[in-house]
Amino acid sequence: MMGRLFWKFFFAFLLALLIAGLGVGTTMWLHQEQINQRLTDAPIQIGKLASIIVSDAADIGQYGGAQGLRQYLTDQQQNGVARVYAFDDNDQELLGRDLEDGQLDAVRQLYDKVPHLRSIRLLTPESDGSLLLFIPANVVAPLNDYPPHGPKPPKPLITLMIAGIFSGLFFSAFLAWWFTKPIRHLRGAFQAVAKGQLATRIGPAMGRRKDELAELGRHFDDMTAKLENLVSAQRNLLHDVSHELRSPLARVQAAIGLAEQRPEKTPEVMARLEKESERMDYLIGDLLNLSRLDSLAADKAEQALFELSPLLDELLDDARYEANLSQITITANILAPLWLYGKPVLILRALENVLRNAIKFTPENGAVLFQAEAIEKHVIIHIQDSGPGVKADELQHLFTPFFKGEQGREHQTSTGLGLTIAERAVKAHRGEIIAKHVDKGGLHIEIRLPNAKRPD
């Protein structure tokens, strides 16, 4: 079923073709009328019949010479059908016939202006000079069917108009179909996505098109791919959240059951309940931060150019206060200035999560290295702890939501979302975050962010 857009394209193309054809045809017709009007008062007869008669005489003169042409014209005169006049270079007619004064000069001028006119021929037989052949305008042809012809062909203008109409219909239908075909694919794809089929792609259906409609199809595929990934991530997150919440809730229920069966264990049970509630509070806080991260990154209102060094000083002061409780030393090396463009709150949240993670896994009397510098197009930040590190097969999963390595499972307050939040914040600023092994033990996190130019 053809849509309304198809018919709009169809009639638009058809109208454009018809207008163009009508314009060209009218121009040709007016030009021809100009020529016809110019030849109306010509000193010779103009037309197809006159062209045929003059051409026959010219052929005879070409092969028989002036003598053969004279004999041909004489025979024609005896039969009463002589119409062709032949004048030599001395303005003498082969049969001695005369013209009105000035008529021969007018014929020669006409030939000079319109040399391709078939009703007038300049013949140059060998050794006889040149002969100008034509039928004077005052000579009326006695035969209307000489030479005999079949049925007249249709007029060229009518033929062109008919051909133009049919070709216009064909090409209009083809162009309308060509332009609306990808739109039909898009409509079907949108309907499929609306039904939940997020794996729908229309790139293959576009073929080798390289126009705006094909680009729209590629954008559609990008959109559906992102939607599919987003929905899949949300489903996985919901599954992981359910799993993470089920464990502390199960322990809470077990503690309550223990308190009911053994009242003397109530103080111990209350301590367990407090610990599990803190764990769920940490988890819910990180989930809220993770859910707000995408909306904060998408909001362009609070993005600005800022210098990171003063913010790092405050971050390190807070981190040292926490690290001193475990006699952990934080060594910082900040090579200012460090200019970034984006949201300072997101950058600080990412750095804080990584730094607190390093402090958490560093043993007592250990050390944490913090280094920041600007190198060409990037601001590079290194955070390295002296903890036990992670296994090789766990390194690639560190930024996966709720992932806890072997060491992470020993920390009851770890939710497995800290590094995930850091990765999302860094990627929101077109940066990258990389986890590396340290030869002497520990974990090395490298963060690369685009270096912004300092304002003048």
* Residue pLDDT, tens place only, 194-218: 887 878 887 777 777 776 767 777 7
At which residue do the structure tokens 């007018």 appear? Answer: 106
- The per-residue pLDDT for 420 is 83
Distance of CA 239 to the CA centre of its chain: 38
- Concatenating the DSSP letter of every residue in 348-411 gives HHHHHHHHHHHHHTSPTT-EEEEEEEEETTEEEEEEE--S----GGGGGGTTSTT---TTGGG-
d(CA 138, CA 124): 26
% of the chain at pLDDT higher than 70: 73
219-228 burial string, b = 16+ CB within 10 Å, else e? ebbeebeeeb
**pLDDT range class, residue 304, cuts 50, 70, 90:** confident
| Residue 432, amino acid | E
- The per-residue pLDDT for 32 is 65
- The per-residue pLDDT for 432 is 93
Token readout for 154 is 């249709």
146 pLDDT higher than 70: no
Please indicate whether residue 243 is annotated as part of the active site: yes
H helix intervals, 212-343: 212-261, 266-298, 309-324
Candidates 31, 219, 243, 411; catalytic one: 243
pLDDT digits (tens, 9 = 90+) for 278-300: 777 777 776 776 666 666 655 66
Q: Is the peptide bond before 337 cis (omega within 30 degrees of 0)?
A: yes
Q: Is the peptide bond before 147 cis (omega within 30 degrees of 0)?
A: yes
Strands 131-134 and 120-123: antiparallel
Q: What is the mean pLDDT of the chain?
A: 78
Contact 317, 355 (CB under 8 A): no
- Determine which helix (DSSP H) or strand (DSSP E) holds 32, and give its type and residue range: helix 4-40
- Concatenating the DSSP letter of every residue in 161-217 gives HHHHHHHHHHHHHHHHHHHHHHHHHHHHHHHHHHTT-TT---TGGGTT--SHHHHHH
- Determine which helix (DSSP H) or strand (DSSP E) holds 437, and give its type and residue range: strand 432-437
% of the chain at pLDDT higher than 90: 13
142 pLDDT higher than 50: no
- The per-residue pLDDT for 152 is 45
What is the mean predicted confidence (pLDDT) over 398-406?
73
